[in-house]
Structure 1
Amino acid sequence: DGDGRSKWPPSMKKLVSPEHIVYFVNSRDELKELVRRLRIDEKLAGNLRQLCGWQEVGDGHSGRGLASGWTLLHLVRWLRRDGMETYIVAIGTAPQIRKAVPGLKEVTSSDDQLKKLLNG
């Protein structure tokens, strides 16, 4: 309707898999069903609960940014090559992104350089 508000419930989590598939989950129960359906092991399941903010991360912090290549949609970063109009999904740490994105190693001198670019 053009008012800029999201059509999704605020509690809905939009999980992005390492394969760049987005899964929508509203609750721990829906996440549990997704874990069962995708045959995700218990360790990753716990990490996904942390990613969604539904389980503490060790030292009292709630949530995390990555879980074995999974992330939340709003944390996905996008890269655009100079002279191109297409964007590349960048998920993971700087070393993971440099490894996954074809040609990125050739145009960035180090993981630290890419990290600075990603973080502005």
Structure 2
Amino acid sequence: MIAEERLRIQQEYIQELKEEIESLKKEKEDLRDQLSENEIALITEKERVSIELKGLNEISKQYNAAVLRLNALIKNYESKLETINKGKELIDKQLVNITRKGGKNGITRLCFWRKGSV
């Protein structure tokens, strides 16, 4: 009787171990499937990021080209401004005074005096 009880307990224990092994095998298979899904998702995410980086690189190139064009425009503007300022200085050197004088029939004349004249 005791031997039969031990045999029954051992068989129950063996059955529980078999069920646990099957459960672990199923869990392992599920994890393997989940890992495959995660790998696919990761590859897809890498491709998406790669495409976004290419887009950002293109935008960066366009931005840099725009900055270069803007810098060229600024240099051109500065050059023109410098020319205008030189012309203004030249005019300022030559002209001492501009006055208005009343003329005949109410016509106003502008009179210019050059340095050194009068």
Query: Which protein is bigger by CA-based radius of gyration?
Result: 2
Higher strand share: 1
Bigger share in helix: 2
